[in-house]
Amino acid sequence: MAFPKALIASLLLSLLVLQLVHAFEPETTSNQMTSNTGNVSGSKVDCGAACAVRCSATKRPNLCKRACGSCCSKCNCVPPGTFGNYEACPCYASLTTKNQVHKCP
């Protein structure tokens, strides 16, 4: 009787591990092509919508949207999420102010 219980437990554990691996999988190229966060498909990004998402959690949304819009128009991409993820748009990350501070939120 111990063998079937061990088999069932190992199957459940392996299914849990597979689910966790799938949950932390990075975005695919086809998903990026349909989003407004990058220039994967070569088309113009809707900067207003992408910056609205990017600036949705900030305390100063108008300032954030203005800076994000400026960066988006130069780079034609906006990193996904509300913070970080600069590796998705290196141009966006490289823009700085005259004080060498990130210009783009």
Position 28 in a domain: no
Question: Per the structure, how many domains does the chain have?
Answer: 1
| Owning domain of residue 94 | 47-105
Position 24 in a domain: no
Are 38 and 88 spatial neighbours (Cβ–Cβ below 8 Å)? yes
Does the pTM surpass 0.75? The reply is: no
Position 7 in a domain: no
Q: What is the pLDDT of residues 2-49, one digit of tens each?
A: 668 888 888 888 877 778 777 766 554 433 433 444 555 567 889 999
What is the reported pLDDT for 35?
A: 43
Position 39 in a domain: no
Q: What is the pLDDT of residues 49-99, one digit of tens each?
A: 999 999 999 999 999 999 999 999 999 999 999 988 999 999 998 999 899
Position 27 in a domain: no
